[in-house]
A and B are shown apart, each in its own frame.
Chain A
Amino acid sequence: MDEGALKSFLYGFSDLARALFASPWGLALVGAVVVVVLLARVWNAARDRALACAAAGKRLGAGEAALVAVKELGSAIVGAGAAIPAILAAVAAGAALVAVADSLRSLEEMKANAERVRELSAVVRHLEGRYKVMDVRVDSVTGGTTTLSLSYYASDGRDGPAASETLSIAGTDIYLDAVVCNFAYTEIAGGREVNLAVPYRIFSDRVPESQGLPLAVSGPDGVPYMYERAENDIYGLAPGVYRERLAELVSVMGDDAASRREGIVRSVYGNAVHRRVASGDRFSVWVEASGGLSIKDSLRF
């Protein structure tokens, strides 16, 4: 008997046993069968006695018939009592088979659950992920003007920031503006995409966005540092192909409506995160896998 047939037998036996002994209808059916068997036995005995009486020229009376029935029932009970060890063995063996079948099923479910836990953990890991966009250090706040050192990060695995610059701007509530591209959750959850943010401008509570200062966030090839990801990070392609895909991606970002129609991108918009600063403050801007930008300082991690 191969494994499949053995499993089929065990599962079939287990299902039948459960249906017969673990459900009201099943128990009713078993009870009805027992009653019918007993009635048949009593009926047989009574009929035999009636035939014997007829042969002797007598008629079987009601009292005698009742005695026959009681005797027959008693003998059935005595017979069952004598078979108790065999019945117990059969019940124990049946229960063991049911338990083995259930354990096998449980093992299969455990295997499937372990796989599901692995998948869901990966989804949570992807959705909880965040990428650092920049570090901000407030060098000074004097006379209502803030001087900051900004360090921009690429996500290509290199240690430390990809570039840094120092800027001064009027105001003390500093806005760090970026274009954010949030991919569909199905893409993020599957680990196929990571949300992107390209910082491009700084302004403040006193300086309008249109008069803000541009940020030097692009490398020598004109590609923003945040796009310079390890090949495997987004596409898992060779560098040349990766660049082609990058161009496609930028074009997708350029057409918000089309990209949403394609179901790849959930939203593309500008996001200026800001904070009232004091000299010596340090914080980082992150792009969240669940969507949008955040400012979180190192104390929170």
Chain B
Amino acid sequence: MKRKGTGLIRTALALAALAALLWLAAGAILAVQRARIGELERQIASLTAETVPIRFMVESRSDDRLTARFAFLNLAGTEYARTTATVRGTSLFVDLLVVPYGDAWLAFPYRAFGELEAPADGVEFGGLVMKDGLPRSHEGGPFDHGSLAELGRLYAAYLAGAQPAGAFGSAVHDVASLGRFKLGVPYRVVARKAGGIEILED
């Protein structure tokens, strides 16, 4: 009788140990899976996230002139500058400099122009963006003073005519056949993590 009882206990303990092992293994696998899911969800959020460096609104449009009001926003979404510019044409081109930085791309306001003028004759935004050698466009985010200074040097070099490695410009604009920017309607210029620039109606 005693032997039978001991055997029962041993069997129960062995089963419990086996089940505990299974439980521990499953827990480890689940932890790995949950971490992977979290990482993928963060990746998706980052790919679809948007930063808005510029908001604008077309105030008036004639046959060969277009006047628009621009608001410049930093990474925290705080407006740091505002201006009104007139360009030659009926289409508005909002030009940004896109620079690779780590695994992301950063967008700096560059200039605005119309289809009737050469981009070089457009309105430059560099003076509004830069202050004491730092790009205000990237304040309010993860960059410390040193990183901002580095970005400032990059941006200043581009404004001075250099071509930083990997950087490119991206001018977004309305297209006559698809419909002009509506007068008095605010639009936002959106920068994506992969380097794309988009215009969305606010």
Binding site for B on A (CB under 8 A): 85-86, 88-89, 92-93, 95-100, 102-103, 106-107, 109-110, 113-114, 116-117, 120-121, 123-124, 127-128, 130, 171, 173, 175, 179-180, 182, 185, 189, 203-210, 253-254, 256-257, 260, 266-276, 278, 288-297, 300
Contact = CB atoms under 8 A, between A and B. Distances in A.
Contact of B44 (A110, A127, A257, A267): A127
B12 A96 contact: yes
Contacts of A86: 5
Contacts of B105: 294
B194 A294 contact: yes
Given A85-B6, A270-B173, A271-B170, A106 B179 contact: no
B169 A274 contact: yes
Contacts of A296: 166, 195
Contact of B178 (A93, A256, A292): A256
B178 A106 contact: no
Interface residues of B, number: 68
A93 B15 contact: yes
Contact of A290 (B16, B19, B23, B194): B194
A95 B19 contact: yes
Nearest to A300: B166
A182 B48 CA distance: 12
Which of B44, B174, B177 is the most central at the interface, judged by chain A CB atoms within 10 Å of its CB?
B44
Nearest to B12: A92
Given A117-B37, A294-B194, A92 B16 contact: yes
A125 B15 CA distance: 43
Which of A175, A208, A293 is the most central at the interface, judged by chain B CB atoms within 10 Å of its CB?
A208
A271 B171 contact: yes
Which of A89, A173, A189, A278 is the most central at the interface, judged by chain B CB atoms within 10 Å of its CB?
A89
A93 B19 CA distance: 10
A173 B163 CA distance: 10
A101 to B, nearest CB: 9
Nearest to A271: B172
B166 to A, nearest CB: 7
Given A270-B172, A291-B194, 12 more contacts: A102-B26, A103-B19, A175-B169, A175-B171, A204-B119, A208-B89, A208-B115, A208-B118, A209-B91, A273-B171, A291-B192, A294-B105
B18 to A, nearest CB: 8
Contacts of B41: 120
18 contacts: A96-B18, A103-B19, A106-B23, A106-B26, A106-B29, A113-B33, A123-B40, A124-B44, A175-B169, A180-B198, A203-B119, A204-B118, A209-B173, A273-B170, A288-B194, A292-B195, A292-B198, A296-B166
A173 B200 CA distance: 26
B26 A103 contact: yes
